[in-house]
Structure 1
Amino acid sequence: MMIDLPDILIREACKEDLPALVALIAALGGHGDTTDPEAFSDYARAFAVIEASPNQTLYVAERRGEVVGTFQTMLTTSLTGRGASAMIIEAVQTRADMRGQGIGNAMIEFAITEAKGRGARLVQLTSNAIRKDAHRFYERLGFKASHLGFKMALK
């Protein structure tokens, strides 16, 4: 499914988008992301895993043929909620010079529409605890801070 909002096209990412996607996530910092050419094979491997999964999709937001945003969705089903499915939205990123122009909103709306279309009972996402502007953005879209998340680095 593709959505075309004013001048924003949201579509599934393809291999040709990978350099732009790597630059986008590396610009945010953290997680060890880098544009170092030696790391590209790691990103290509991860892209192949996502692309092969029936329950994961990587998207790009494009403006005038240029990648200006990205996000990933994962559909999970658990026994909780009588076997309901949830759509997880991850790695939401809008290029720094494009923030405040509705791109993030369009990406989240797209993900919510996808979740409804796939029968999910809820949509959830996480955001780094220090990204207060992002938290306000998600709250404006109707998300509620309802859980406390924990992580453990294994490497």
Structure 2
Amino acid sequence: MVLESSEILIRQARKDDLPALVALFAADALGGHGDTTDPEAFPDYARAFAVIEASPDQTLYIAECGGEVVGTFQTMVTTSLTGRGSSAMIIEAVQTRGDMRGQGIGAAMIEFAIAEAKGRGMRRVALTSNALRKDAHRFYERLGFKPSHLGFKMALK
């Protein structure tokens, strides 16, 4: 079953969405980010939310269906001297609730982000995906993304 786009509301996340967002990330065994629903960790998430909320260049979104948080993603705008000083939107932390995958929620979220980027005159939209997420790679390619760069990370903690 694929949900109608009219059944999916995409809006900016609010602080009261945090428990549902944390649960989404904690349920992701493949991501390996160490997310947890342990109440002792909640202040860490609240601090991060405050930083994102205060930033003019970052926005955290949720996808809502039937009043429930069923997905999330974050956008960041970066401007560089390359491309004659143009700006680009980076899409990060894309997550759809496990029981809701395959219903068009991920596509609705990505299409929303692309429309936002176009509306703001961005030069491009970029995202990264864990190398192990082969299904996600096929999904992004179906939406028109091309694998063009090789990314590197270094853990500092």
TM bin, normalised by shorter chain, reads over 0.9
Counting matched residue pairs gives: 152
1:133 and 2:135 are equivalent in the alignment: yes
**Distance between the aligned counterparts of 2:74 and 2:24, measured in 1?**
13
**Distance between the aligned counterparts of 1:150 and 1:28, measured in 2?**
21
Match of residue 15 from structure 2: 15
Q: Which runs of 5+ in 2 are unaligned?
A: none
1:84 and 2:67 are equivalent in the alignment: no
Q: Within 5 A, what are the aligned runs for 1:98-137?
A: 98-137=100-139
> Sequence identity, in percent?
84
**Post-superposition, which runs of at least 4 consecutive aligned residues in structure 1 deviate over 3 A?**
none
SS across alignment from 1:152: coil
SS across alignment from 1:28: coil
SS across alignment from 2:42: helix
Q: Within 5 A, what are the aligned runs for 1:66-85?
A: 66-85=68-87
Encode CA deviations 1:9-29: one digit per residue, 9 max, x unaligned: 000000000000000011113
Match of residue 52 from structure 1: 54
**Distance between the aligned counterparts of 1:110 and 1:6, measured in 2?**
13
SS across alignment from 1:61: strand
With the length of structure 1 as denominator, give the TM-score of the two structures: 0.96
Encode CA deviations 1:83-104: one digit per residue, 9 max, x unaligned: 0100000000000000000000
**Distance between the aligned counterparts of 1:85 and 1:134, measured in 2?**
25
- Shift in Å at residue 154 of structure 1? 0.6
Match of residue 26 from structure 2: 26
SS across alignment from 2:18: helix
- Shift in Å at residue 5 of structure 1? 2.5
Q: Within 5 A, what are the aligned runs for 1:33-48?
A: 33-48=35-50
With the length of structure 2 as denominator, give the TM-score of the two structures: 0.95
